Structure 1
């Protein structure tokens, strides 16, 4: 029986190509999965519309939203949040600052905000409120509601008015994290500087 030693088997080569193809498909699936996770679950980019958050955020400021911020913790007072209210007159992203937390009672009198009857000491530079809106009377928040105000208190449509009202926890998209134009962290903007 004659055997041709110069002729090599193609089976190892085919096996190698198939294995490399499978590895390439797995790597591609992992990259697509990570991209989906980053885009849909962790960060998103949006634009500030209007002047309701002046001087913290200006009209057309580009904001990166940290959508992962509230996966394992709850929003805190003074966080600047991005939310979207479905089923309302406006169905777009809105950016405001949390003032009242679930279960608290909020009211506004003499230009100031009161939480559970105590004057709220705010760390931001803001004006006295001229129009108390619905908060002229006490508003008690449910266990999944937040009361929000714009930093431009006298030029903001926020929880004081019926067309916005209290924000439900499942309407919160995430925390306004970074202002990309004139780069800065949003939570560091417009704070009162303490005297040294």
Structure 2
């Protein structure tokens, strides 16, 4: 009887170790939670929204325009922003209109710029690629330009420069908390 009980404990221990190992693999290489910190992605994402980061999607393809990505802004801090510019492109915002290689591009995720449409700062801040850190004429290979949706209140490529593909943790599109905001977001 004692031997049977000991074998049962050994089996439970093995099962627990396998479960912990699988959880570690999933967390490190596949999916991870992130909490939105601040208003930089309003109105799409709200402060304290909790999301799932898909860490493996960019193993198979590069980020696409308007993907919402999580990246290492520093060794202590991850940011969540939207990919706007891709390698080989010139990006500018003039009079609140996004231009890629001189052509206007619609940003359907941004609110209309009228006085009663929003309760947050909708200033978009005009800029061109040459004005951001690095003084580039086009986005180099292996980099993307990211912006927050709330352009008047976002620390993004306009201040920190272009983001290397190596800095990108993954893509995120699922808000899972709070319950009343559960949804897929993105273009």
C-alpha displacement at 1:170, in angstroms? Answer: 0.7
Aligned to 1:146: 144
**Unaligned runs of at least 5 residues, structure 2:** 114-122
Distance (Å, rounded) in 1 between the aligned partners of 2:16 and 2:127: 55
C-alpha displacement at 1:177, in angstroms? Answer: 2.5
TM-score of the two chains, using structure 2 as the length reference: 0.76
**Unaligned runs of at least 5 residues, structure 1:** 1-13, 189-196
Deviations 1:43-77 (A, max 9, x none): 11111111110000111111211112212121110
Aligned to 1:95: 80
| Residue 38 (structure 1) aligned with residue 33 (structure 2) | no
Matched ranges for 1:1-196 at <5 A? 27=15, 30-86=18-74, 91-126=76-111, 127=113, 129-132=124-127, 139-161=137-159, 164-179=160-175, 180-181=177-178, 182-187=181-186
Higher Cα Rg, which structure: 1
**How large is the Cα RMSD of the aligned pairs?**
2.8
Report the number of matched residues. 170
C-alpha displacement at 1:123, in angstroms? Answer: 2.4
C-alpha displacement at 1:187, in angstroms? Answer: 2.0
